[in-house]
Structure 1
Amino acid sequence: METEDHTSLKDVTLEHASKTTVLPRHFSTSPKHSLTTTPLPASSVSSPTNSWALLKTCNKHMEQSIHYLLNQQDPRGFWVAELEADSTLTSEYIMLRRMLHKVDPDKERKKVSYLKAAQCADGGWPIYYGGPSNISASVKAYFALKLAGISPDEPLMLNAREIILKMGGVVKTNVFTKIALALFDQYDWHGIPSIPPEIILLPKQFPGNIHSVSYWSRVVLVPLLIIYASQPVKQIPKENSIDELYVVPRDKVRIRKGPPFETDPRLVSWRNLFLLVDFALHLYSQRPLLPLRGFAIKKATDWMLERMQGNGGLGAIYPAMANSVLALHALGYETDHPLIGKALSEIEELEVESDDMLHLQPCFSPIWDTCLLTNALVESGLSQAHPALLKAGHWMLSKQTKKVGDWKISAPQAQPGGWSFQFENELYPDCDDTAVVLMALAKLNFPNKAEQRQAILRGLHWLLAMQSHDGGWASYDKDNNATMFNEHPFADHKSLIDHSTADIAGRVLELLGVLGFDQTFPPAQEAIAYLKNAQETNGSWYGRWGVNYIYGTWSVLAGLRSIGEDLSQPYICKAIHWLKETQHDDGGWGESCQSYTDPSLAGVGESTASQTAWALIGLLCAGEVKSDNVTRGIESLIRSQKSDGSWEESFHTGTGFPRVFYLRYHWYGQYFPLWALSMYQSLKTNTRLRADDIAKRNKAQKWYVQHFNKT
């Protein structure tokens, strides 16, 4: 699969692996950003007046970026940067350690420093950089600080209390916050939606069984079933309580009349039906059938313990890992039991510690960082057999899953072959990572072609088997689209399920094009139909896993170009127009997380390096390389690059759960700008992308196409 290197960067060979990459837990960061180098002033960057001068400048800045990124590679082959969330994880971590009587005073002091630094000017805590105070994040932070011994009379606590009460107090927090408070008797278990462990006994064919919800809900929920059954309470001193955060006295609160138990004004609705079911389950839980309850707890425990084997923790995400510890504790395991010790050690790996502060990241993102960066570096002109790329490729090959996971329930015909997001999450590969890894592998020139092709085939078979009946792809399961479950009072975060998304469908189309398929391939036809139906009226596409409409629109346009769609079609032109209309005066693009709650803010927000790069990639894929919008966007990226070859980016541009949980990938602002600059350079120099050459070769060889024609 070797193609000719056609840029001036083809001979870049840097000593990139000589220094050991420091893993995320040891990064020295502030809660908001880790890069402190001052950006180059606009006057110090050339402002070319013609395209060839711009191309020359672009090439220089690409070289700086490549040098910077190659020097970040771990000697084992992967790249990984910090994945930052918000203060809630650190608040919960303080609570967890207090619950278990496992407090490290020095680390707790650093967590307190982090929470203090993360506080907004109005006294609350946000869930994304630059965002407004959030009631749930603020209550968690306030309670965590009190548990850690911070006086409620300190100015930061007085300010926090004032804004929390203005936002409605404890009663207005989300379900997960209320569960965390109930563990310390700061909220009544009576006010938690009913989640009895008997839920796990529902057969797979029955609506509401644990496989009706997403992977992330499942691994969080099953330990909660165990916790809910015993409803443990840790008594704390009165001075640590948060009664002052109730707008009305706590004993006067009508606990099952407020959130999340509000009724739908329509008499007949899923919401009201689930409220009736919740009421019935609540009555049952007061006097459960003891033999059935015991059997359910055992089954939930077995399910959880099976998935805690190996490394990385339950589901390889912090909320599930923490719940697994609490569930074991509720079952009577001592805090020094090896299972609890192992789980806590896995959580400790998520710590990001500096001299003064400590916060927690939700998980690691090495496969995602590595596959995206590999694609960007290939497009930049590095040899497809460059040592850094082959080392990354072999590392990715070693991470292909070989075990059957929960996905087998929704796709029984599928066989293992996908990739997960984290270092270790064997049972939960996802379609997004799998598509981008396969793209990266297909672009490399491995010495062992047979191994390369077999890995790609296994991955592609798994990925195509995961296509949902609506033509799209979800992340972890097939046809996990029963949206009515988001009306359950437990699901106030509205992210209980894992439905098809436009961004992943675009990614799979991009992969299929790279492998030599075109729009006549039946799965591609179904995906294109899905995307046409999913397009917003303004021409954009919703971004489920990145913020937001810029992310979705880039992903789709890249896929449509790769698979061979006619770019002059009206629906594509509409998307191009939307991207052009949302460009900022500084030449960049930006969009706030607020667009998830208010779609009228689509494409509105301060310019960021990653979102500028996404918009540019979308326009370049749509044939707009000669447009003034692209020129201004490229100039914007060049102006904002720092002297070390990196870009500054403080904003959260990744999405965990819309409206609830956002992510700041510390290298989104690094490899996406390189990718955009590289695409511009390729198209201006050769009128085609490096990826186009690889796709052309694969299409001529017909190796993958003929394989699927036979099967």
Structure 2
Amino acid sequence: MNTTWNGRIVAWDPQSESQQVEETSPFSQDNTFHPAETDKVKLFEQARRSVGLSRYLLLSEQKPEGYWQGELEGDTILESEFILLQAYLGHERGERAKKAANYLLKKQNDEGGWSLYPGGPMNISASVKAYFALKLTGHDPSSEALQQARRAILAAGGADEVNTFTRFYLAFLGQIEYRDCPAIPTELMLLPKWLPISLYAMSSWARTMVVPMSVMTALKPCRKISPSEGIRELFIRSPEHWPVPKYPGEASRLSRLVGKAAYQFDRLYKWLEKKKCVPLQKIALKKAEAWMRERFENSDGLGAIFPSILWSIIIFDVLGYAKDSPEQKYSYAQLEKLIIEEEDTLRVQPCESPVWDTAIASVALSDSGVWADHEALKKSAAWLLDKQVLTKGDWSETVTAEPGGWCFEHANAYYPDTDDTAMVMMALMRQQDLVGKRQEAWAHEGLFPADLNLYEEEGYDADESALEDDEAWQDRIDLALDRGEKWLYAMQNSDGGWGAFDRNNHREMLSSLPFADHNAMNDPSTPDLTARILELLGKRGKRLGHSAVNRAVAYLEQTQEADGSWFGRWGVNYIYGTWQVLQGLAAIDFPQDHPMIRAGVEWLRCTQQPSGGWGESPESYGDLRQKGIGEATASQTAWALLGLIAAGEAESETVRRGIQWLATHQNNDGSWTEEEFTGTGFPQVFYLRYHLYPLYFPLMALSRWLRASCSDLTVDYKTRPRLAVCCETTR
């Protein structure tokens, strides 16, 4: 079977390969793995077939421009807020609002509420918003769905318990007064950045939420709706007696004192507003308006995230901007990009992830044997080079450095981040020294399926003497990498670690402010980010003895948990963090017998499930007893395997069982089924399902296992195209 991809011929037939793999599974009916079945040659064949299937599928997902972008799925708060926006604009009975309501009904839990992730407990804020959205779109409150939701909400404390963001939604639709929301003074815009409480002391994502919400506090936009569409039936107490929203984590004594003082200031500010004694408010409003408009430039919306885009639409509406003004047309266009509309449902993405997806997909394909100068990887590298942010953003308010990072989305010039920067740089490094990369690929060509045997394609010269590195191309990559590395050095925190968007952005007291209950006021160092950048530095030739490396390793030593694991801020959770740290330390040639490494390996080994896979629920962010516990998933199994392989465990029975799990649970099209949310937005508040995670991470893990464990097992494609043969190799 010949198939074309991007105009080129690929001739691998997965059905032919599948005939070599025994249909019998090493899993019994109770899904328990039997070690006796871990025959290495058979596992090699299964892994090769899995690589071929997933590699083919991933290549087919590449966009014509050269990038990858999977759907980014959040919880139903997104669809609810979309409907609430439509209600503010007077379109709550429109077709799109009703489609979003259909999606909400599909996601309702058995007990009647809505959760932050599949299988999670009911979340009161998500449930109140969903109930309100359904009523606004015309659903009968006496229907079974709404009756069930109402019972669940009241049993959980009613609308009284919703968070700050939800209260603002209730206020702009007239369900409560703005005085019942925590005040966010617009005068924050006027505070000098050296103060411990100021705009630039907050995290970048908090900034893009706080500024528009401060305008909401000042201008108090509201659309009154009929009482029959309201949700007073969800109130247990009058809103003025609702409890103050609280940060979900543990607070220090200082933070508690700051919180008490901030609560008193909140009351004072509201009193001053009532007396119209806020003389600086108009000046602050002008500054907030200008601040938001400035950050529309070269961005997929304010902060390039759905909530800030939504607030922007409301803010510029109340400021008097017409719907056809450039500002409003811009925000509506950015919102439209996030909407996925189908025949009877509509869902909303929190943002888009093309840079992140493209970098990881490129690395995974390279790991799987796709040559660096292949059209797919050349196009993705060129696309990534064009996305480097070469203008200064919010980070430059506290850091003196030349720009050089990458953002997560298509465009977000004010907010490049260290995680994407490191991942993109590792992808671009695969484009350096193309002759050397070709020689490396030839050395491993027998490990991987033949669907990309470029030396057999018409017009392709396999003679390495004919392959010359394009100096202009290499110079461009070298320059981008140099800029990125310098920027990352400048972003290293004083504790030796890295945060995502800012340097030294960790003022714990901010989490005690009355409006800080979204658990996102800080952007501190985290083990997963620190380890990814350490991995990059290792690939750039840095080792112990280098200042940034020494400080990063010291930070990782300090943050290792007593059980050997590491916290994962941006992926769920300790599996994610532990994988990344083991991989980062391996890249700098950190001794594999070091107690820190062995403890991490042992934790992963102990959390492997009887099936051979790994899984962890977001519940572990709030309950440490749930660490490493959850339904086994392809992405988390891949993370665990990648960490263990990096730590020298490729030949272990633990790793072989994990590889077998991936090979056995793969779908016929090369994908893996994964409904679980394994990405993290804000711990205990917002989680994500990256739809490409269960494709490129398993591909990466399988490919690295083949490289690390199966160099003595190859396939001679030229003489026996699909026959596994053992070869003597010279070391």
Normalising to structure 2: TM-score of the pair? Answer: 0.86
Query: 1:429 is matched with which residue: 416, 420, 428?
Result: 416
Letter aligned with residue 437 of structure 1: V
Letter aligned with residue 396 of structure 1: L
Paired residues of 2:92 and 2:137 also in contact (CA < 8 A): no
Matched, 1:539 2:525: no
Q: 1:213 to 1:311 in 2, by over 3 A?
A: closer
Query: 1:295 is matched with which residue: 279, 283, 304?
Result: 283
Q: Which moved more, 1:226-235 or 1:668-677?
A: 226-235
1:270 is displaced (CA, Å) by 2.9
Matches within 5 A, 1:169-248: 169-248=158-237
Matched, 1:596 2:621: yes
Which residue does 1:8 correspond to in 2?
Answer: none
1:600 is displaced (CA, Å) by 1.3
Letter aligned with residue 398 of structure 2: S
Q: Deviations over 1:11-39 (max 9, x none)?
A: xx9743359xxxxxxxxxxxxxxxxxxxx
Which residue does 1:558 correspond to in 2?
Answer: 583
Matched, 1:509 2:534: yes
Query: 1:269 is matched with which residue: 246, 254, 257?
Result: 257
C-alpha distance in 2, partners of 1:597/1:415? Answer: 39
C-alpha distance in 1, partners of 2:186/2:517? Answer: 20
C-alpha distance in 2, partners of 1:510/1:650? Answer: 29
Query: 2:241 is matched with which residue: 247, 254, 259?
Result: 254
Which residue does 1:37 correspond to in 2?
Answer: none
Which residue does 1:72 correspond to in 2?
Answer: 61
C-alpha distance in 1, partners of 2:706/2:357? Answer: 23
**Aligned residues, how many?**
651
Matched, 1:661 2:686: yes
Matches within 5 A, 1:334-413: 334-412=322-400
Identify unmatched segments of 5+ residues in structure 2. 9-18, 27-36, 435-468, 714-731
Q: Deviations over 1:591-621 (max 9, x none)?
A: 0010011011000000000000000001111
Matches within 5 A, 1:475-624: 475-624=500-649
Paired residues of 1:15 and 1:71 also in contact (CA < 8 A): no
Q: Deviations over 1:52-100 (max 9, x none)?
A: 2211221111011101110110010000010000100110001111112
Query: 2:47 is matched with which residue: 47, 58, 66?
Result: 58
Which residue does 1:696 correspond to in 2?
Answer: none
C-alpha distance in 1, partners of 2:384/2:554? Answer: 32
Q: Deviations over 1:149-198 (max 9, x none)?
A: 11111110000000000000111111101111111121231121121111
Matches within 5 A, 1:44-55: 44=23, 47=26, 49-55=38-44
Q: Deviations over 1:354-399 (max 9, x none)?
A: 1121010000000000001111111111111111011100000010
1:204 is displaced (CA, Å) by 1.2
C-alpha distance in 2, partners of 1:474/1:400? Answer: 19
Which residue does 1:31 correspond to in 2?
Answer: none
1:102 is displaced (CA, Å) by 4.4
Query: 2:145 is matched with which residue: 139, 146, 156?
Result: 156
C-alpha distance in 2, partners of 1:290/1:274? Answer: 17
C-alpha distance in 1, partners of 2:141/2:644? Answer: 52
Secondary structure, counterpart of 1:491 in structure 2: coil
Which residue does 1:416 correspond to in 2?
Answer: 403
Secondary structure, counterpart of 1:489 in structure 2: coil
Identical amino acids, percent of aligned pairs: 42
1:306 is displaced (CA, Å) by 0.7
Matched, 1:127 2:97: no
C-alpha distance in 2, partners of 1:543/1:343? Answer: 33
Paired residues of 2:388 and 2:404 also in contact (CA < 8 A): yes
Which residue does 1:319 correspond to in 2?
Answer: 307
Matched, 1:305 2:330: no
C-alpha distance in 2, partners of 1:63/1:602? Answer: 33
Letter aligned with residue 109 of structure 2: C
Secondary structure, counterpart of 1:419 in structure 2: coil
Which residue does 1:438 correspond to in 2?
Answer: 425
Paired residues of 1:592 and 1:605 also in contact (CA < 8 A): yes
Letter aligned with residue 319 of structure 1: P
Paired residues of 2:616 and 2:631 also in contact (CA < 8 A): yes
Q: Deviations over 1:199-228 (max 9, x none)?
A: 110011112111001111101111111111
Q: Deviations over 1:239-281 (max 9, x none)?
A: 0010000124x37x513x4434999997972322322332333
1:547 is displaced (CA, Å) by 0.2
C-alpha distance in 1, partners of 2:5/2:683? Answer: 37
1:282 is displaced (CA, Å) by 2.8
1:324 is displaced (CA, Å) by 0.9
Paired residues of 1:78 and 1:367 also in contact (CA < 8 A): yes
C-alpha distance in 1, partners of 2:624/2:61? Answer: 37
Identify unmatched segments of 5+ residues in structure 1. 1-12, 20-39, 689-711
Paired residues of 1:487 and 1:494 also in contact (CA < 8 A): no
Paired residues of 2:116 and 2:126 also in contact (CA < 8 A): yes
Paired residues of 1:493 and 1:660 also in contact (CA < 8 A): yes
Paired residues of 2:635 and 2:694 also in contact (CA < 8 A): yes
Q: Which moved more, 1:443-452 or 1:545-554?
A: 443-452
Which residue does 2:700 correspond to in 1?
Answer: 675
Matches within 5 A, 1:91-130: 91-102=80-91, 105-130=94-119
Secondary structure, counterpart of 2:404 in structure 1: coil
Q: 1:265 to 1:403 in 2, by over 3 A?
A: closer
Q: 1:258 to 1:403 in 2, by over 3 A?
A: closer
C-alpha distance in 2, partners of 1:365/1:358? Answer: 19
Query: 1:471 is matched with which residue: 496, 504, 514?
Result: 496
Paired residues of 2:245 and 2:515 also in contact (CA < 8 A): no
Which residue does 1:136 correspond to in 2?
Answer: 125
Letter aligned with residue 259 of structure 1: P
Q: 1:310 to 1:100 in 2, by over 3 A?
A: farther
Paired residues of 2:567 and 2:577 also in contact (CA < 8 A): yes
Q: 1:240 to 1:387 in 2, by over 3 A?
A: same
1:458 is displaced (CA, Å) by 0.7
Q: Which moved more, 1:229-238 or 1:585-594?
A: 229-238
C-alpha distance in 1, partners of 2:5/2:58? Answer: 8
Letter aligned with residue 629 of structure 1: T
C-alpha distance in 1, partners of 2:129/2:322? Answer: 26
Secondary structure, counterpart of 1:490 in structure 2: coil
Q: What is the RMSD computed on CA atoms of the aligned residues? A: 2.2
Which residue does 1:452 correspond to in 2?
Answer: 477
Which residue does 2:274 correspond to in 1?
Answer: 286
Q: Deviations over 1:99-133 (max 9, x none)?
A: 12245722122111101101001110111011121
Q: 1:46 to 1:176 in 2, by over 3 A?
A: same
